[in-house]
Structure 1
Amino acid sequence: MKTIKIILFLLFVINCSYSQEKKQNDTIKIEINSNTKTIYLLGGIASVITKEDLAFGKKYNIQFHDFGCVAPTNFKEYEEKNVWVFEFLNKTFGKQWQKEIKPSVLGFDKWKKK
């Protein structure tokens, strides 16, 4: 009886994790296809979004999301979302935007080195 409960529990856990991963990938696709793209930032107690960031956002139709002092648990997912936005900006605006964005944006340094 215990083994049956354990097997059912494991099947439930595996199914939940697969469903969550699929939802995350679907979320990335939805965000990439939306009109306004979001770049995610790791901040601190005070907001790290500056006037220059807001001007950049207006120029390239980008919005910024600052996590504040609480980093997300799925850090990699937000890096991946930012990479999609970087690729979109490259295809749409060329490389000029790279000189204007702050280098501390989540995942930008890794992406630029590739």
Structure 2
Amino acid sequence: MRKIIFTLTLALFTSMAFATEIVATVVFENLTDKELKSGEFTIIDLNEKIEISKAESFKITLPEKGKYQFSFVSDDFTAYTFYPTRINKRKNTITVRLMEKTEFKNTGIYSFPMNLETDLTDEQIEQRIENGTLNFIMHGIDSSIPKEYVEFKEKYGIGLIKENCVIDPLSFKRATENNQMIFDFLNKKYGTDWPNELKAKPFGIK
């Protein structure tokens, strides 16, 4: 009898563990004429890397719903990774947008939660910088990253994401709050001279 109870308990525990898993879908938006032949998708929090050889959708399994960070890198593209702040059964799509590389050296990781958190602590900001997932936001007619922002990311660990030039009020508010949070952090850490290194200032920064 004890053996039967133990077996049933183990089966119940196993089924509950699988029930908490979340399946997310990774989709690609290739905005270039080139074919993706190699790249690496990373689930940063789990330190799990997946080699990619074509721009086809695929699924990943996460241990539970919650906050995750993802990135995608390729030698042939500038890649932007967009994903929900919290992954759950309803919000479970991760989008990798492939853009033409600029003429400048570009080794950054552009990882971008679609619902930005703009009240991060200094410790959380430092963690995002370490993971390469903290970015200023600008809007523009093309995806090119100015040279000073490439150099800025190499120096400070903070990159730039350029979104569509059509700006709605919510996007403008989100971008401004995000940029102001980074602005305040950099001022506390490096003083007030660092903005001089950026010719084009992000929203919310003078």
Report the TM-score when normalising by structure 2: 0.36
| Corresponding residue of 2:160 | 64
Consecutive unaligned residues in structure 2, runs of 5 or more:
1-114
Query: Structure 1 stretches (4+) deviating beyond 3 angstroms?
Result: none
User: 1:63 Cα deviation (Å)?
Assistant: 1.3
Counterpart check, 1:51 vs 2:141: no
CA distance in structure 2 between the partners assigned to 1:59 and 1:81 by the alignment: 20
User: 1:68 Cα deviation (Å)?
Assistant: 3.0
CA distance in structure 2 between the partners assigned to 1:31 and 1:64 by the alignment: 20
CA distance in structure 1 between the partners assigned to 2:195 and 2:182 by the alignment: 12
Consecutive unaligned residues in structure 1, runs of 5 or more:
1-23, 110-114
CA distance in structure 1 between the partners assigned to 2:118 and 2:188 by the alignment: 18
- Aligned residue identity for 1:98: P
- State the number of aligned residues: 84
CA distance in structure 2 between the partners assigned to 1:103 and 1:72 by the alignment: 20
Greater share of residues in strand:
2
| Corresponding residue of 2:192 | 95
CA contact (8 A) 2:119 2:181 kept: no
Alpha-carbon displacement from aligned partner over 1:46-89 (angstroms, at most 9, x marks no partner)? 22421221001111110111003343551112101100000011
Aligned CA-pair RMSD: 2.4
Greater share of residues in helix:
1
User: 1:30 Cα deviation (Å)?
Assistant: 4.5
Larger Rg: 2
Report the TM-score when normalising by structure 1: 0.61
